[in-house]
Amino acid sequence: MQIPQLFRSLRNPIFARLYTAQTTNLLGDALTWLGLALLAFELAGKDSAVVLSGALTLRVTAFVLLSPFAGVLADRLDRKTILVTTHLARMVIVSLLPFVNAVWQIYAIVFALNVFYAFFTPTYQATIPLVTGQEDYPQAIALSSATFQLLGVLGPGIAGAIAAFIGARQVFFLDALTFLIAAILIITLPGQLRVEQATDRTSSSGRTWQDIRAGTTRLFADSYLRYALAMQLVASVTGAQILVNTVGYVQGALKLGSIQYGWVMGAFGIGATFAAAAVGVLGQRWARTTVSLMGAILITIALFPASYVGLPLLLVLWLVAGAGQTFVNVSAQTLIADRTPTEFQGRVYGAQFAWSHLWWVFSYPLAGWLGSHQKDVSFLYGSLIGLVLLVMTQLILSPKGQEHVHESYWHAHEHTHDEHHRHKHHPSILVTEPHRHPHQHRSLRHAHAYSGLNHHHEHG
């Protein structure tokens, strides 16, 4: 595996700064959720699981309701403004958590926190292909996903050590500091991260709803994006079984403790991390849909025997399952960058983020029902349901034809303004002298839209 290739995108100084901000933000998220778990136990005791499940439901609800609108704003406004605003808002909200003394306050703050998270994530996802070159955005997406998965494994341990040292409630102040640092990193980026729209776009409510529908329409009209989204349904149905029912299997059926449960879930996260690193390499050799199909097969097969194995084999199976889920999710994100013109990517990423989280709204209750009514074979039944969905998706939605890479992206290189470089820039930049700043590049080659979208050409 060519690990250095995963970090190639960090040569881009704009993305390197955004990536550092995201990593800092993810450390803050680890502090947030560990602090919330401790706070829920302090206020609710034995009912803390109910409080946390309610908080997670509110989180997903905010994503489903608001992410499409967030994608619209990402296509209209300077994305720097959105990213900085969401960081500063979360900094203020998190700073309120040390003063919470009632469960309803946890619910209110968690919902408010995830309102701004719903605006941050699609904007950040759409900005990765905006600022990286056409050859680098697959590695940049894979690197961001690998970091997300790695901190998902290491973050709780780091946050727990910090909380033990400074106190459960005080950890939220450090959490707020991480959001402030991330905001400073983004606000100091040169220029703007604004997408140039082909036509004048008004901000009326009618136009806004048309743009929200446009994101979902493009998502479902393209056979490749539709296929990837259906594969995410397979990954959510099977993945929910792992997230919901693993603790019952490890501590109930296997009669093991919380330490062993941590090992098993750590294996799931480690598999996801290595897969995110690998997908940046595989994506250069295999079609995105092939990687997505392989991921769905891996997580479905890994779940099949899990109700009958001991701890060592369960560790291996969950390692494979984590890899499968990442193959599906990273492929879906990369396909949007491949197949969507730059000026529409915010809306499509917002729609994809909402729909993919809607799958979890159904998958979590299904996993809970299987865990309570079929606890001895919950993984087996979850695997069979996932297999049926996988076969249906492959037979009905598998796209035909050639995968398409769009020819519009942002990058930075030294240039002067001539017939090849005509774009807006900061007034302080002299167009007659060589200079560097992020700007949109459209290739001289034609860009073709397939699979139900109108055929069009873009010329430099």
Same structural domain for residues 11 and 153? Answer: yes
Q: What is the pLDDT of residue 416?
A: 57
Q: What is the pLDDT of residue 328?
A: 94
Q: Which residues of 300-327 are buried (b: 16+ CB within 10 A; e: fewer)?
A: bbbbbebbeeeeeebbebbbbbbbbbbb
Instruction: With residue 187 as reference, give the H or E element that holds it.
Output: helix 171-187
Amino acid letter, 311:
L
Could you tell me the pTM of the whole model? Answer: 0.75
Same structural domain for residues 171 and 22? Answer: yes
Residue 46 burial by CB count (10 A; 0-12/13-18/19+): exposed, middle or buried? exposed
Cross-strand bridge partners of residue 409:
441
- Per the CB < 8 A criterion, the answer to whether 352 and 334 are in contact is no
Q: What is the pLDDT of residue 224?
A: 93
- Per the CB < 8 A criterion, the answer to whether 346 and 194 are in contact is no
Non-local CB neighbours of 333 within 8 Å, separated by 6+ positions: 125, 141, 145, 349, 352
Amino acid letter, 321:
A
Give the CA distances from residue 95 to residues 160, 175, 212, in Å, rounded to whole numbers and listed in that order.
Answer: 18, 8, 32
Question: What average pLDDT does range 270-289 have in this prediction?
Answer: 80
Span of 78-82, 243-247, 377-381 with lowest mean pLDDT: 243-247
Q: What is the pLDDT of residue 266?
A: 84
Same structural domain for residues 297 and 166? Answer: no
pLDDT value at 189 more than 90: no
- Per the CB < 8 A criterion, the answer to whether 455 and 449 are in contact is yes
Q: Describe the crossing of helices 137-166 and 258-282 by its angle, rounded to 10 degrees.
A: 160
Give the CA distances from residue 275 to residues 40, 130, 180, 268, in Å, rounded to whole numbers and listed in that order.
Answer: 33, 24, 31, 11
Identify whether 145 is part of a domain.
Answer: yes
Cα–Cα distance between 374 and 147 in angstroms, integer?
A: 35
- Per the CB < 8 A criterion, the answer to whether 122 and 346 are in contact is yes
Which tokens sit at 312? 């060592």
Same structural domain for residues 261 and 148? Answer: no
Provide, rounded to the nearest whole percent, the portion of the chain with pLDDT above 90. 27
Same structural domain for residues 270 and 368? Answer: yes
Residue 155 belongs to domain spanning: 1-191
Cα–Cα distance between 114 and 54 in angstroms, integer?
A: 13
Greatest mean pLDDT range, 65-69, 272-276, 389-393:
389-393
Greatest mean pLDDT range, 24-38, 82-96, 139-153:
82-96
Q: What is the DSSP string of 292-343?
A: HHHHHHHHHHHHTTGGG--HHHHHHHHHHHHHHHHHHHHHHHHHHHHHS-GG
Identify whether 440 is part of a domain.
Answer: no
Q: What is the pLDDT of residue 434?
A: 53
Identify whether 361 is part of a domain.
Answer: yes
Same structural domain for residues 133 and 242? Answer: no
Span of 269-273, 328-332, 403-407 with lowest mean pLDDT: 403-407
Residue-wise pLDDT for 151-188, tens only, equals 877 777 777 788 878 877 888 898 899 999 999 999 98
Q: Tell me how many domains the chain contains.
A: 2
Question: What average pLDDT does range 290-307 have in this prediction?
Answer: 94
Same structural domain for residues 80 and 30? Answer: yes
CATH of the domain at 260: 1.20.1250.20
Same structural domain for residues 230 and 154? Answer: no
Nearest to 378 by CA among 386, 366, 370: 370
Q: What are phi and psi of 404, to 5 degrees?
A: -115, 140
